Structure 1
Amino acid sequence: MKIPDNLSPLLQQLLTEYQPLAREGKVASYIPALAQVDPDQAGVAFATLDGSVFKAGAAEQLFSLQSVSKIFGLVMAMNRLGDELWQRVNMEPSGQPFNSIVQLEWEHGIPRNPVINAGAILVADVLVSHYSASKTAFLTFLRSLCRCETIYADNKVYLSELEHGNRNAALAYLMKSFGNIESEVPQVLEHYFHQCATAINCEQLATSLLFLANRGVQPGSGIQVCSRRDAHRVNAILSTSGMYDQSGEFAFKVGLPAKSGVGGCIVAIVPQVGVIAAWSPPLNRFGNSVVAMQLISKLAEELGLSIF
């Protein structure tokens, strides 16, 4: 696949074209700290395996990682538990809202996949159980991937999530009642909210996930972040479940493994090419960024990026 030598003008063109769509969405309000984010900001970055980073707009503006953090937690848990992890969480699309309690009750405390909230809380339990300081371990992992030692968790967002995370607490306690949470629930929730509150920008995020486009190897450093098989598995889960209840539509229209977060970010993996990270806070009714979704969709169409 041939990528133009300079993608930045195209990224700026698409950002200019689609940024007005932000008025069709709403900034996440159920976490009060997110409701205060300026809805008019937007940025995009495309990091490629050869070390290039093309960007436009507010690509260096920090935002809350939120559910995109589930990718990093999942990779850490897979590295620690191996196939044992899949005895505690499935890998199927949910067909229910990302924070559904009903489905978890039906399925006896086994989350449908690791990128809905229940599955990510289960992954957080694995990390709390296997690291003496799981929050630090998560940040250290992310910093190494970004090659940036200043990555941190935004304390204001973290405390806001702790105060308003009652539904996530309900999911955790329900799984605990089925014996599928090993650590104490408050510890698990503290880790989960802390990783979701991580502050990052488009350029850092696109760079950090290049190993998923490169069969588990982080280009530049040559470090094997995860096995080739696990990189395949993570991309498969992102393809089927990473975009909440729009995962099927995104696969149909865009054809790339992707993950969204209610902080307004969408990250898309382009195997053997690179990673796209786009951010704009206003969300559609599914919890996906209106602008980022349209921008990535058009970019994939323009460049012929679909894996299908």
Structure 2
Amino acid sequence: MPAPHLPDVVAEIAAEMRARPDRGEVATYIPELGRVDTNQFGLAVALGDGSIVCGGDCDAAFSIQSVSKVFTLTLALGFAGDRLWNRVGREPSGSRFNSIVQLEHERGVPRNPFINAGAIAVTDHILSGHQPREALGEIMRFMQFLASDDTIFIDKAVAASEERTGFNNRALANFMKGFGVLENPVEYVLGVYFHHCAIAMNCRQLARAGSFLAHRGKHPETGFSVVTPERAKRINAIMLTCGHYDGSGEFAYRVGLPGKSGVGGGILAIVPGKASVAVWSPGLDAAGNSHLGRIALETLTRRMGWSIFGADSDPI
């Protein structure tokens, strides 16, 4: 059962975030995301007993964008195992999520699987041996299974908006193709990539989908082993060091949890052994991460004593 005070803490944080005037800026470079109302905020905490504590707009669907990279990485590791690391690294980038400068310097091998180039390379692994529609179906079935919810869908308007404006991602993919990092046709890989970034979920669904990473790779409701405990640990480690692009150090410093952000304003954060947390607020900070989402998670870890580096105050 959840700690008695957790619902109060979640409700308080939702009220505090809704009242804040500093909302951040939406991602206008994807036109469909630029239309989202910044006055929305949702928070969901999925606990090991299957219960979910929610606050704010936790049932509003949003485009999870790069949060999907946690799940495509998990799938690709299931297909390829450690061979995946021959084509993508595990180091923080220190650069913008769509930077090509580092990729040129390192001869087409992306620094980690969470920057755009790395996630495109991971998508190429999932696509190998499949048609794009089959690969996307594989990803969707995995997401729906993890969230125990077959209503999760791809927002076709967002996917189309990304395909129309994804020139930087095309440059990254073609550059990697030139170095032999991608095996499949660039347009096939990008088609799957744009569509899995356009998956729409709410905080409740996303928190449940990430729960296996909080419980040593095991789905807490079904008991199914999604990944080994060792692999869950390693995915969490990459989330901690690379999950917020060049804002990863600041997120670790302030929040103290493994986490993965998306430019749709969502963040998935993992409290090992305790909970999976999903937060959504569409306004972004300068690094492309949810402005209020990070503040809300910092507040949650402080009040609950949930930072993996130790509590910085007594829990309420």
> 1:174 maps to which residue?
175
SS in 2 for 1:77: helix
> By how many angstroms is 1:22 displaced?
5.5
Runs of 4+ in 1 over 3 A off after TM superposition: 20-24
CA distance in 2, matches of 1:78, 1:205: 20
What's the offset of the Cα at 1:130? 4.0
Distance (whole Å) between structure 1 residues aligned to residue 76 and residue 119 of structure 2: 10
C-alpha separation in 2, matches of 1:22 and 1:172:
39
The residue aligned with 2:236 is: 235
Check if 1:261 corresponds to 2:262. yes
Could you give the per-residue CA deviations for residues 39-94 of structure 1, whole angstroms, max 9, x where no partner exists? Answer: 11111000001111000111000000100000000000000000100111000000
Is residue 93–residue 112 contact of structure 1 (8 Å, CA) maintained in 2?
Answer: yes
Asked if structure 1 preserves the Cα contact closer than 8 Å seen for 2:2 and 2:51, the reply is no
Shift of 1:18: 2.4
Residue 67 in structure 1 maps to residue 82 in structure 2: no
Q: Which amino acid aligns with 1:69?
A: S
Matches of 2:7 and 2:128 in 1, distance apart? Answer: 43
CA distance in 1, matches of 2:130, 2:223: 25
Tell me the distance in 1 between the aligned counterparts of 2:174 and 2:269: 32
Distance (whole Å) between structure 1 residues aligned to residue 62 and residue 44 of structure 2: 14
Alignment match, 1:44: 43
- Find the counterpart in structure 2 of residue 162 from structure 1: 163
Q: Deviations over 1:5-42 (max 9, x none)?
A: 35222112112212344634111100000011111111
The within-5 A match list for 1:47-196 is: 47-132=46-131, 133-196=134-197
Quote the offset at 1:227 in angstroms. 1.5
- 8 A contact 1:243–1:259 mirrored in 2: yes
| Cα distance change on mapping 1:65 and 1:109 into 2, 3 Å | same
Q: Please give the secondary structure, in 2, of the residue aligned with 1:54.
A: strand
Letter in 1 for 2:212: F
TM-score, normalising length from structure 1? 0.97
Q: Is the 8 A contact 1:283 1:290 kept in 2?
A: yes
Check whether the contact 2:17–2:41 (CA below 8 A) recurs between aligned residues.
no
Within 2, Cα distance between the matches of 1:101 and 1:110?
11
Match of 2:143, as an amino acid?
Answer: L
CA distance in 1, matches of 2:58, 2:21: 17
What RMSD over aligned residues (CA atoms) do the two structures have, in Å? 1.2
In 1: Cα distance, 2:105 partner to 2:259 partner: 27
Equivalenced residues, count: 307
Contact in 2 for aligned 1:3/1:303 (Cα 8 Å): no
Tell me, yes or no, if the aligned pair for 1:45 and 1:276 is still in contact at 8 Å: yes
Structure 1 counterpart of 2:285: 284
Answer whether contact 2:23 2:292 (CA < 8 A) is retained.
no
Tell me if structure 2 keeps the 8 A contact 1:258–1:268. Answer: yes
The answer as to whether partners of 2:109 and 2:176 remain within 8 angstroms in 1 is yes
Give, in whole Å, the separation in 2 of the partners of 1:24 and 1:296.
Answer: 15
The AA in structure 2 aligned to 1:70 is K
Give the AA of the match of 1:150. T
User: Bigger shift: 17-26 or 240-249?
Assistant: 17-26
Cα deviation, 1:123-151, whole Å, max 9, x if unaligned, reads 01011114441011100000001111111
User: Is 1:250 aligned to 2:251, yes or no?
Assistant: yes
% of aligned pairs identical? Answer: 47
